Homo-oligomer: A and B are copies of this chain.
């Protein structure tokens, strides 16, 4: 229905993405290079992601805190790989309060360093461990080729930071966040079938000893890194002297982790589920699950629409009433563009027969539903829609993933989708060769789909793809 207002995916996927963001009023470019204005409809999606993720993070035992935006430049230099990784992307405050600062302040690109400094103060004894913190914040990484939600100079995220008494405990927690918080959130709220794996040394976070990742396949077959969880070994603990007294009364360095997910997930949601009519929002994350619309005003129509909305709200459905009397077609296209899962269209003729029309954005089609059964019908539809989106995304991923045996074959597959290929066939050299064609090893997985527990797993498969 809305096919004419946006570029079809098949014609030009990046332009389709831009069109959806603009027409569905999700975001705008900010005035300073690479920054982003998140508009109310886009922010409502992020807000629901935040709430759902926050609940899961709290269940995992981490507590929210807030650390400063500005970090002394010297802090970053304490961990050699970390500063090397982030230096090219830093924004630096040199003047404040009308004066040149004695030491320039870096706008946080991530907070391992400043949080490391404070954890070192707070951790004195093994009794203080594990220390499990999380923060919701904005971070800045200067982008030369910005793309809304996917790569912006400023983005919003949560970053978890934890300290543990043993390497084993740190490892288990990073894994718990990866599997039980991130992957489950992505599957159960975003309806996205992410692949869980381990990054190669080349793709690892700057300063980590191990990076676990959730990779999603987008509508064009490219990969998007949706979230990562890092084991940091004792690298940051050493840099910030985060030591503690063990039960045996000895001083030891702590083991730390960090993990993050960001507004980038909104981009992933758009590109995983969107179609030629626009966005399709998974019901559990949709701010508006059901739009109750007046087709044409008439006797009792507005009143009926209002009472339907109330009934849905009472049943715990996030319903919104659109009782404008203006051009229905345009409003319906707008709802399609915005990906509202279900529309309930209320018109005088249907109403006279005691029914309304239910239009489904995800399953497609329209049907007449008697008023008495509407709430059940809608509730059922939303549950089905979640499963349908997940199944569709999974089918695409399976369909477009090729089991390759040579690097050339993998590179060929990566022009339209993903390839899996034994990591020992690729190796560090093969990875560098693929990189020349902008193809990366997204992650390593075991043949049974599990996450390799060590870097040198001889049987590990590399998942190879182009990516955002």
Binding site for B on A (CB under 8 A): 28, 30-32, 35-40, 43-44, 46-47, 63-72, 75, 87-98, 105, 107, 114, 117-118, 121, 133, 137-138, 140, 142-144, 153-154, 156
Indicate how many identical chains form the complex.
2
Would A32 and B70 count as touching, CB distance under 8 A?
A: yes
Would B93 and A91 count as touching, CB distance under 8 A?
A: yes
Distance to closest chain B CB from A172 (angstroms): 22
Report Cα–Cα, A105/B31, bound state, in Å.
10
Specify the chain B residue showing the minimal Cβ separation from A143: B97
Report Cα–Cα, A68/B138, bound state, in Å.
9
Specify the chain B residue showing the minimal Cβ separation from A27: B66
Report Cα–Cα, A268/B65, bound state, in Å.
19
Would A40 and B69 count as touching, CB distance under 8 A?
A: no
- Residues of chain B lying within 8 A (CB to CB) of residue A43: 63-66
Report Cα–Cα, A343/B94, bound state, in Å.
49
Report Cα–Cα, A105/B142, bound state, in Å.
13
Distance to closest chain B CB from A216 (angstroms): 23
- Residues of chain B lying within 8 A (CB to CB) of residue A144: 97
Would B47 and A64 count as touching, CB distance under 8 A?
A: yes
Report Cα–Cα, A393/B309, bound state, in Å.
43
Distance to closest chain B CB from A416 (angstroms): 33
- Residues of chain B lying within 8 A (CB to CB) of residue A36: 66, 68
Report Cα–Cα, A261/B63, bound state, in Å.
23
Distance to closest chain B CB from A37 (angstroms): 5
Would A96 and B91 count as touching, CB distance under 8 A?
A: yes
Query: At the interface, is chain A mostly helix, strand, loop or mixed?
Result: mixed
- Residues of chain B lying within 8 A (CB to CB) of residue A156: 66
Would B92 and A30 count as touching, CB distance under 8 A?
A: no
- Residues of chain B lying within 8 A (CB to CB) of residue A88: 97-98
- Residues of chain B lying within 8 A (CB to CB) of residue A105: 32, 91
- Residues of chain B lying within 8 A (CB to CB) of residue A46: 66
- Residues of chain B lying within 8 A (CB to CB) of residue A37: 65-68, 118
Would A69 and B140 count as touching, CB distance under 8 A?
A: yes
- Residues of chain B lying within 8 A (CB to CB) of residue A70: 30, 32, 35, 91, 140, 153-154
Specify the chain B residue showing the minimal Cβ separation from A62: B40
Specify the chain B residue showing the minimal Cβ separation from A36: B68
- Residues of chain B lying within 8 A (CB to CB) of residue A133: 40
Would A64 and B87 count as touching, CB distance under 8 A?
A: no
Specify the chain B residue showing the minimal Cβ separation from A133: B40
- Residues of chain B lying within 8 A (CB to CB) of residue A97: 88-91, 142-144
Which of B31, B71, B137 is close to A75, meaning CB atoms less than 8 Å apart?
B31
Distance to closest chain B CB from A90 (angstroms): 7
Distance to closest chain B CB from A261 (angstroms): 16
Which of B32, B87, B93, B142 is close to A71, meaning CB atoms less than 8 Å apart?
B32
Given contact pairs A40-B63, A138-B138, A35 touches B94 in the complex (Cβ within 8 A)? no
Would A95 and B87 count as touching, CB distance under 8 A?
A: no
Specify the chain B residue showing the minimal Cβ separation from A154: B69
Distance to closest chain B CB from A58 (angstroms): 10
Would A95 and B98 count as touching, CB distance under 8 A?
A: no
Would A32 and B72 count as touching, CB distance under 8 A?
A: yes
Report Cα–Cα, A55/B118, bound state, in Å.
33
Distance to closest chain B CB from A84 (angstroms): 13
Which of B44, B87, B94, B154 is close to A94, meaning CB atoms less than 8 Å apart?
B94
Would B44 and A63 count as touching, CB distance under 8 A?
A: yes
Specify the chain B residue showing the minimal Cβ separation from A324: B127
Provide a sorted-by-A list of 16 A–B residue pairs whose CB atoms are within 8 angstroms: A28-B118, A31-B71, A32-B71, A32-B105, A39-B65, A43-B64, A68-B154, A69-B69, A69-B107, A69-B138, A69-B140, A92-B94, A96-B140, A97-B142, A137-B138, A138-B138
Would A65 and B92 count as touching, CB distance under 8 A?
A: no
Report Cα–Cα, A93/B64, bound state, in Å.
28
Would A64 and B40 count as touching, CB distance under 8 A?
A: yes
Report Cα–Cα, A32/B113, bound state, in Å.
13
Specify the chain B residue showing the minimal Cβ separation from A69: B154
Which of B40, B72, B94, B96 is close to A90, meaning CB atoms less than 8 Å apart?
B96
Would B118 and A68 count as touching, CB distance under 8 A?
A: no
Given contact pairs A28-B118, A35-B70, A70-B35, A65 touches B40 in the complex (Cβ within 8 A)? yes
Distance to closest chain B CB from A122 (angstroms): 8
Would A31 and B68 count as touching, CB distance under 8 A?
A: yes
Which of B32, B65, B90 is close to A38, meaning CB atoms less than 8 Å apart?
B65
Distance to closest chain B CB from A355 (angstroms): 32
